[in-house]
A and B are shown apart, each in its own frame.
Chain A
């Protein structure tokens, strides 16, 4: 039973926490700075104290075991300074075999350059020892690398220490002392930056930037990205921070792969006519100028169409999911040219999307590089795609008119079913979020939908079922919605709690069982013998079960059962 460490906030594997430390409290992630702190921790590994500290020498020894502690020490972490593969393997072995509410300490490894990456990977505690070593080796450390202090004519930062640097005179010892102080300052400043990023849910963008400065860190990030399950199990289903896809590694983000997989695996099969459109800078896409022009022209025909948007780095976004993260909130450098990687991912995902559904006809109303992608997919799948647009300007009145004519002809030819587009959003979001054909459970018959795009809400027989929360693009359930879902899906997205009345926040200690598929920010149904409640998950389902501390669910509605 751990009592001394509590995670308060998460951003993927990174987290903010509180560590009760003898008579005081440390906020993690933290940098141990004094010899006293280092000694205190070392003593606790050997004696029985109120902190349970476990030293793991060889991560292979713990692989597949189950260790419970307050603090885990990755002994000899420094041996991985230039061995990103060894580090990622050791780290993930340890994280996967210890309780989630244990703080992980990687001794003598942190520098201003790598600390963001260490915390991103799931380390909670580091120290300033290596920065001190580097000072004694003559190196000033920065977030983008190191410089020998006798080789720079002007200070490269203007912290209190560097502002007064005058290396021209003074002994080596004095230079070391100044450098040491700067290095610690740089380390702490970066720590504070990381904390702020975790709070915003934007640490990934920082590590993508930091890793650029050295092949070792870039390799480390790429190796971590191969550990999809490790990060997926810890990643929220939505973020408020904008996903900035500025690097090659952005394409491998958990959020993108998860979105792509859910679109193929969770959504119900579509039939009829598919209309492919290019993406837009403005999100959701239907608010953009280009989409408004096209959609206005197709106004009366849209209920007979399936629309999907081609985009980098996501690939394909069905219209109904344009409000869901990350489709609703990402940004990429737009130059009109796609990188080979972006192209290939888009081709692959568009092909998967087309194969997973059963369209009769595909209309590709795109231009430039989008058209090239569609051509490649058409060849790859051996399907026909109709290109009504001018390859140079799809917004020309000539193009728009041809689009309208072609779509009209296709509708006459296939006579597809007319749908309520607002219902499309709610139904697909329900399936995307809750899986298992959830939409059929929520909406056994077409609900009454009210609200202004995208804040739709659905009711049936006067009872509210679900609301689309536009901030996240998720569905928030009412108790009525929850009841409809659990009738056919007992267990899925459910959290069973001890015999108490849930209100406000439910803590992990009160959770008996939780669906392991639950992710932070998921909408969950809370149950015990007497009550049913709905709320938002604050940690993953498996983590609720394995933790003894920390907030698990923020409850919204409660009702007697």
Chain B
């Protein structure tokens, strides 16, 4: 990849983000929804609950180039309020799910973001659910913390936003603030308490060509497979108040092609269990193809997430000729997407 990075743009990044935080986030509570997920190779009903904590500390301090989840944070959040919110969601949807995901738009295990008593109460309430999924940055996934929560709930899966196994890209394109080594350490800590790890990978951080993004994602799946029981491939979309959005508006960024996601899944399917939910698929801000084939391809990607069978990918479209060309020639634009 070209020697570029967020440093030149970091002033912009922070200014933009602060502008968004000050506006305050619209909080419609509880934010929860049901869906289908994969558990031990079977498709099961799941519940997702998003809690309005004060948000990711890293987002407030530095921020990742593509992440706009800080927009969902609530600077006035307190422990009791958050717990109340959680109970509200539970009472509405019940506990009869095989999988319940409790997310905070930050790190569930950051004691500063979510007080330990609230954390423990939530995990206690979910101790009989077959799988509880929480999200955290790796620096909070320590042996001590894992032991603490393992005493309360033994069926936890910790999802970590590794994004890429490439430290250079994670630093310069994403500004994530940790290394692959940190992720490996977190994975080992989690496993010592028999927790499973889900690794989030980001397809197409900024400053990468389509071909570089493809190679990076395939390599990352292979590298992360050893330290994660499941991999979630996140197709980068353009979120409000992010550097990615600023680049996108200047025509310096295009979300990944859906074909690229399909290709990553095809090439890496044999090395790990990979799920992928193309958020905003087929829109200008989300991963997209030419417009004609987008809906079908999004559907095929969802189907693959359940079947893990690359035979899910059947459709083809005239724009594949263009996508092939982009893979081959995009580097010669010197830093802009060849096709919007």
Contact = CB atoms under 8 A, between A and B. Distances in A.
Given A79-B251, A137-B322, A172-B321, 15 more contacts: A57-B334, A57-B335, A77-B334, A78-B338, A79-B250, A79-B336, A107-B333, A129-B333, A129-B338, A133-B325, A133-B339, A136-B321, A136-B325, A138-B318, A173-B321
Contacts of A341: none
B252 interface: yes
B332 to A, nearest CB: 5
A132 interface: yes
Interface string B319-340: 0011001101101111110110
A295 interface: no
A73 B334 contact: yes
A76 B334 contact: yes
Contacts of A173: 321
A221 B297 CA distance: 42
Nearest to B337: A78
Contacts of B336: 76, 78-79
Interface in A59-88: 73, 75-79, 81, 83
Nearest to A73: B334
Contacts of A137: 322, 339
A42 interface: yes
Contacts of A172: 318, 321
Nearest to A39: B332
Q: Quick one: which of B250, B325, B332 has the most chain A CB within 10 A?
A: B332
B328 to A, nearest CB: 8
Contacts of B328: 35
A38 interface: yes
A136 B332 contact: no
A132 B332 contact: no
A183 interface: no
Interface string A124-140: 00010100110011100
Interface in A134-170: 136-138
Interface of A: 35, 38, 42, 55, 57-58, 73, 75-79, 81, 83, 107-108, 127, 129, 132-133, 136-138, 172-173, 176
Nearest to A127: B332
B239 to A, nearest CB: 21
A127 B333 CA distance: 10
A303 B278 CA distance: 86
Interface of B: 4, 8, 250-252, 318, 321-322, 325-326, 328-329, 331-336, 338-339
Given A76-B252, A76-B336, A79-B251, A136 B331 contact: no
B338 A107 contact: no
B9 to A, nearest CB: 10
B120 to A, nearest CB: 50
B209 to A, nearest CB: 12
B322 A136 contact: yes
B321 A176 contact: yes
A173 B322 CA distance: 10
A78 B321 contact: no
Contacts of B339: 133, 137
Contacts of A73: 334
A338 to B, nearest CB: 42
Contacts of B333: 76-78, 107-108, 129
Nearest to A137: B322
Nearest to B326: A133
A136 B325 CA distance: 8
B338 A133 contact: yes
B321 A108 contact: no
B251 A107 contact: no
A76 B8 CA distance: 16
Given A79-B250, A172-B318, A107 B334 contact: yes
B316 to A, nearest CB: 10
Q: Quick one: which of A73, A136, A138, A176 has the most chain B CB within 10 A?
A: A136
B324 to A, nearest CB: 8
A436 B308 CA distance: 84
Given A129-B338, A133-B338, A42 B332 contact: yes
Contacts of B250: 79
B3 to A, nearest CB: 9
Contacts of A129: 329, 332-333, 338
19 contacts: A35-B329, A57-B334, A73-B334, A76-B334, A76-B335, A78-B251, A78-B338, A79-B250, A79-B252, A79-B336, A108-B329, A129-B333, A132-B329, A133-B326, A133-B329, A133-B338, A133-B339, A137-B322, A176-B321
Contacts of A42: 331-332
B12 to A, nearest CB: 12
Nearest to A45: B334
The 10 closest A-B CB pairs, nearest first, are: A75-B334, A76-B336, A136-B322, A76-B335, A79-B251, A108-B333, A79-B336, A38-B332, A78-B336, A172-B318
A132 B325 contact: yes
A137 B338 CA distance: 12
A77 B251 CA distance: 11
Given A76-B252, A133-B339, A55 B334 contact: yes
B332 A107 contact: yes
B250 to A, nearest CB: 6
Contacts of B334: 55, 57, 73, 75-77, 107
Nearest to A172: B318
Contacts of A35: 328-329
Contacts of B252: 76, 79
Contacts of B332: 38, 42, 107-108, 127, 129
Contacts of B322: 133, 136-137
A75 B336 CA distance: 8
Contacts of A138: 318
Contacts of A58: 8
A83 B252 CA distance: 13
A176 B147 CA distance: 61
Nearest to A83: B251
Contacts of A38: 329, 332
Nearest to A105: B334
A77 B337 CA distance: 11
A498 to B, nearest CB: 39
A58 B333 CA distance: 14
A126 to B, nearest CB: 12
A129 B326 CA distance: 10
Nearest to B318: A172
Contacts of B4: 57
Contacts of A76: 252, 333-336
A57 B8 CA distance: 11
Nearest to A173: B321
